[in-house]
Structure 1
Amino acid sequence: MSERPAAIDAPSAGVFGDMLRTVEKLDTPEGYKAELIRGKIVVSLWSKLRYLRPMRRLRSQVEAHAPEGHVAETSPFLFVFPPAERGFGPDLFVADETAFEAEGRHADGAALSLVAELTSASTRDADWLDKLDTYGRVVPVYLVLDMQVGEITAFWDPSPKGYRSRTTVTFGTSLRVPPPFDFDLDTSEFAGGADVES
């Protein structure tokens, strides 16, 4: 499979429950994940190797400030947003641990307190458009590490129309992560994984 995401038509296209069951049954190749984006099942590569250091650094920092009972992970779990008929596997997430006590292969998106996506050429549009719109109605904090331009944006204060607030800084500049985390994120090690052309 190429780095470019591949869309798969689900048997009952447009029926979220059927599509979700199809995603759960998919045997995606090692290193790939399946998500429900814009009414289609999209299979794409998991993060690049050089994204490991930024993801580990980000995870250690947000985990230290996570709300009580919440866990920070980079595992490819699927979180569902039934009103939006979406299912995303974030690059990094912080979620209430009780969300993982259920049976099945997906968790409720309402359990998330923070999501972070590291953009790639193949996922950039979904991270900035579809995921921003969906997360912006439910998830308290969304971080977009734009690896193509070397910037990180924090979105917060979700509403029925999307996030009300945002801040963007270049890698190497401290970023204030809003409550419920409420700390200054050190982004100095993110630049090493960036795809920025000089």
Structure 2
Amino acid sequence: MTLMAERPLISGTEPRGDFEELLGLLDELNVPNGYKAEIVRGSIVVSPWSKGYYRRVMRLVCSQLEPHLPEEHVIERSPFLYVFPEHERAFGPDIHAAHERVFETTSTHLDGEALSLVAELTSPSTRSEDLTDKVGVYAKAGVPVYLILDMQERQAVVYGSPSGKGYELRLSKPFGEKLDIPEPFGCTLDTAGFLPPGD
């Protein structure tokens, strides 16, 4: 198997098998170092891990949001796979906040409905899914806050007030400005420090 940097590898061109089969395949997949795997639109997608400076950005996001977490929720940057069986998706977000009980399992498949926040830092290979498919899935699953740090456009976009039709709230600010994060966080995110080295 050949993997190209900044290009996702999708298992086939047409969705195959049911969601449980795909989850089983994902568990058995030997993902090369430097890559992660998700289930997007009925296919297994393998994409490269983040650029080095993304760590700084993720740390800044977590340190600002942690004091505003809902009760008994934790915020993580560790790779975990959240499943959305109703939507036949499984995502491994860059940053995620969820009720601490979701981690009390021996399974590698965590309940996506336990999430209170998801944040994605876009890369050229995953940006399209972060801006489209994931917005709809997270909203319909009732994830209260979806934060997209668009590293290519250098702006932060936050969605809130999820419903069965999508998110009812969308706010955006260029990096360097402050962005209001909706409930249940109800705080402000300072995006100073989100630009790449040298900018």
**TM bracket (short chain):** over 0.9
CA distance in 2, matches of 1:184, 1:132: 21
Task: Kindly indicate whether residue 104 of structure 2 is the aligned counterpart of residue 101 of structure 1.
Answer: yes
Contact 1:147 1:193 (C-alpha < 8 Å) held by counterparts: no
Give the number of equivalent residue pairs: 194
CA distance in 2, matches of 1:58, 1:147: 14
Aligned-residue offset at 1:98: 0.5
Aligned-residue offset at 1:31: 2.0
CA distance in 2, matches of 1:158, 1:193: 35
Q: How does 1:1-198 map to 2 (within 5 A)?
A: 1-2=3-4, 3-9=6-12, 13-137=16-140, 138-192=142-196
Contact 1:54 1:193 (C-alpha < 8 Å) held by counterparts: no
Contact 1:53 1:193 (C-alpha < 8 Å) held by counterparts: no
CA distance in 2, matches of 1:175, 1:44: 28
Aligned-residue offset at 1:193: 6.0
CA distance in 2, matches of 1:125, 1:36: 14
Question: What TM-score does the superposition give when structure 1 sets the normalisation length?
Answer: 0.93
Structure 2 unaligned blocks of 5 or more: none
Q: C-alpha deviations, 1:90-140, integer Å up to 9, x for none?
A: 011001110111121110100100000011111100100111110111210
State percent identity of aligned pairs.
50
Structure 1 unaligned blocks of 5 or more: none
Give the superposed CA RMSD: 1.7
CA distance in 2, matches of 1:106, 1:47: 22
CA distance in 2, matches of 1:174, 1:193: 20
Q: Runs of 4 or more off by more than 4 Å in structure 1?
A: none
Aligned-residue offset at 1:181: 0.5
Question: What TM-score does the superposition give when structure 2 sets the normalisation length?
Answer: 0.93
SS at match of 2:36: strand
